[in-house]
Amino acid sequence: MTRPTLARLTLAMAAALSTLAAASAQAQSPAASETASNRALTHVRAHAQRTLHGADHSYAVRDVVIDADGTEHVRLERRFKGLRVLGGDLVTHTSRSGAFLDASHTLSREPRVDIAARLSPVDAVRAAMQQSRGAPDGSTPELLVYARGDQPVLAYDVRLYGEQEDGTPSELHVIIDALRGITIDAWDDIHTAPATGSGSGFFNGTVSLTTDLVSGTYNLRDPGRGNQYTVDMKNRQWGKGAIFTDADNAWGDGTLANRQTIGVDAQYGTAVTWDYYKLVHGRNGIANDGKGAYNRVHYGKKYNNAYWSDSCFCMTYGDGDGVSFNPFDSLDVAGHEMSHGLTSRTAGLVYSGESGGLNEGTSDIFGTAVEFYANNPNDPGDYLIGERIYKAAGKSLRNMIRPSSDGKSADCWYSNVGSLDVHYSSGVANHFFYLLAEGTSGGSPSPTCSAGDTRVATGAGSVSGIGRAKAEKIWFRALTVYMTSNTSYAGARAATISAANDLYGAGSPESTAVAAAWTAVGRN
């Protein structure tokens, strides 16, 4: 093997990192979580006017966040007569003393429907296949209450599996009205970069890696970070892949000729993202359960994309075509894809409409945050997404400073922004975050939005930035404490203002800046 340039991480260094991470994590015992959950369920029923609780409603706890001051935030999935209510999830907020403070949800009315379907499950699958690509896996469609619109309706969630035009797998949800047999919503559980291609350069240089010694052979697995690991798909699009192994614990050589090199970048990106969430936000892994996701690299042949999948709890990266694109596991793309997992385990923002734009925007925001956090001189932090995956300089997947520079993304909120592809409607969230963090002073190239139904900013005013660190804290708290599956941009404005009030005080400069930044992107 050619002598690699990557440095080894000693066991002492790994132990030090693990100790530092454990010291920074929030203490939250199972007993405290159970007490908070029980209080939340009591409050939901006692404050039905605010929670829109009904006699036929039941709940399951999805997540518990307990603040340092003892305030509790419990995320609940709602069911009506045993059926899941899509868009009916809520978060209860309880004081340390146990008093009900408020609840976050997006329902406009109590979800109540006749649960007798006119359409059979077989007919629902047939209707979905007539209007969408893919095939069922033989499982029965889920009958549920669809409550993302103004009027809750009985519907089927039909799952279709297939392949997108560029070779990306598809795990499509098609929502079929159980009375009329029409499609009322659809989204894919495979969260990708735009169809024009995504990828990552392998420009991280010499990095430290925590690995696992098994029977005299090193595995590219990180015991200190939830056993996150990386496998080589060997340019196949099926199977589980093979975990990277090495005899001397020195991986890759910085060239594409060595298959380990891309594995190094993926594993490094996953480790940095884990550390970012744990040391900055106190979250112990994507699902906050101490378990790591994993990476699949060398996926397909000349595959120009990367994606997150909930079904495998993993990130997948193509090698790129070698002409326009490098491999797709650059640092910000790794942070972006892994952050889709965070969203799925917290707010669960549905991947369509404005909530889909917020889902993509969240991944862009935290992908950027991870890149700045890494402080890697080979890939300095910036507000461009995926700029290293292009062979040609000066290109990127998205630009948070002025999203519309790609000719497709929206700088500003407008009434039909939710009809855009989620990668382009995310521009509103990206632009908001940039203005909140950096502001418009000092000759900023990021213009603000004027009043009116427009998607392109023209420069209508000024905003004072509060810095990335505070902006990241606000967005993380808004996502994990206040946003729910159907949150719109109006809801995101309210959620981030509430988060800023919690962190920095009502009427604080930070809270005022959040409101001003939303106004600057057209969402009053």
Catalytic residue set? 337, 423
153-163 and 169-177 strand pairing: antiparallel
Cβ atoms within 10 Å, residue 247: 9
- In 3D space, the residue among 174, 189, 160, 59 whose CA is nearest the CA of residue 119 turns out to be 174
Q: Distance between CA atoms of 101 and 71, rounded to whole angstroms?
A: 9
Q: Distance between CA atoms of 250 and 515, rounded to whole angstroms?
A: 49
Q: Classify residue 165 by its DSSP letter.
A: T
Residue corresponding to tokens 């699902």: 287
> What own/partner pairs with CB < 8 Å and gap ≥ 24 does 67-75 have?
67/502, 68/26, 69/96, 70/95, 70/96, 71/95, 71/96, 71/101, 72/36, 72/39, 72/40, 72/96, 73/480, 73/481, 74/36, 74/37, 74/39, 74/40, 75/346
Amino acid residing at 230: T
CA torsion sign for 204, 210, 215, 219 is negative
Distance between first and last Cα of the chain: 60
- What is the number of helices (H) and of strands (E) in the chain? 12, 21
**Secondary structure of residue 66 in the 3-state scheme:** strand
